[in-house]
Amino acid sequence: MTGFRFLVIWISYRLEYHIIEELKLKCANQGIQILEVHDQGSFLFNQFIFQGKAYPLENCLFLTDQGSFVDQIQLYGGFPCVYLNAENRDQDFFHVPYVVDGLEGLTVLDLTHIYQRYAKIPWTILETERLRVREMTVEDLKSLYLLYDDEQVQKFVGLLYEDPDEELAYMEQYIETVYPFFGYGMWIVEEKETGMMIGRAGFNFRESYEGMELGYLIGKEFRNKGYATEVCRAIVDYVKEEFHPDEIRSLTTKDNSSSKKVLEKVGFRYVEDVELDGKILEKFCIS
């Protein structure tokens, strides 16, 4: 399951009543059952009890403006999202990971993403005709080592930790911090037809550079199929729409001719040579 089945709503602030009704309709159209409560209901172990029925907390997302209800939800391990409004704005909600300031513009996808963060379900970032781009999970560890077992990848991209336990610890920290904080990072690329991991693509982070830096790699058995161009073009379109960067850069070595061809096909243009970690790299940009 990639989404929640029940949206539990307890909102007393009714200035935006029509917006709440629109949101409820959108959820219902997606097969999400609405439980509109007017008191705290009750909790029993890992279940929410409402009108004599039990709903598993793992399948519920709670949208509320009631501080006391939030405390109960968190006490029992539920997933709250606070609706901030004129009546509760002075309350302390710093202990709640997800707070929305107004409901206008809030979509079912927004709520699904909040639920997935709580439930530790990776986001699907985008899909192309042949590929799917999603967030990394710890279950990808073995496939990543197979992907990096390639001289060309090691030459142009680098290595994973020699000790899988170290790489696993790094992955866990990355998943817990980078994806939620930035909303982007280095993602997994899958072939839709087979579900196989064929590579990675997304954005690198460097202490000396605050902008978005595109990076990618495609496994050796999946090269020369146009996958690199397809996924990089889709990612550039996605981040332009979602994050509106002034520019996106990509760095490559002078002898990596295949990477430079991909970047030029996507629309990047060579800007200058830069020195990084003692290496001379070619900088490409797109705006």
Q: What pLDDT is attached to residue 126?
A: 97
pLDDT at 1 over 60: no
pLDDT at 39 over 80: no
Q: What pLDDT is attached to residue 183?
A: 92
CATH of span 124-286: 3.40.630.30
pLDDT at 2 over 80: no
Which pLDDT band, with edges at 50, 70 and 90, does 238 fall under?
Answer: very high
CATH architecture of 6-119: 3-Layer(aba) Sandwich (3.40)
pLDDT at 18 over 90: no
pLDDT at 275 over 90: no
- Per residue in 40-86, pLDDT (tens digit) is 678 988 999 998 899 999 999 999 998 889 999 999 999 999 999 88
Burial of residue 5 (CB within 10 Å: 0-12, 13-18, 19+) is middle
- Per residue in 194-221, pLDDT (tens digit) is 999 999 999 988 877 778 999 999 999 9
Rounded average pLDDT over 14-27: 80
The ranges assigned to domains in the chain are 6-119, 124-286
| pLDDT, mean over the chain | 91
Q: What is the dihedral of CA 113, 114, 119, 122, to 10 degrees?
A: 30
Question: Contact, 55 vs 35, CB < 8 A?
Answer: yes
Q: What secondary structure does DSSP assign to 39-106, as a single string?
A: S--EEETTEEEETTEEEEGGGEEEEES-HHHHHHHHHTT--EEEEE-TTTTTS--TT-S-EEE-STT-
Which pLDDT band, with edges at 50, 70 and 90, does 87 fall under?
Answer: confident
- Per residue in 111-153, pLDDT (tens digit) is 999 999 999 999 999 999 999 999 999 999 999 999 988 887 7
Rounded distance between C-alpha atoms, residue 200 and residue 221, angstroms: 14
> In the Cβ-directed half-sphere of 34, how many Cα atoms lie within 13 Å?
18
SS3 271: strand
Rounded average pLDDT over 13-17: 67
Look at the block and give the residue holding tokens 């602030």.
Answer: 13
Same fold, 6-119 and 124-286: no
Which pLDDT band, with edges at 50, 70 and 90, does 109 fall under?
Answer: very high
Rounded average pLDDT over 267-287: 91
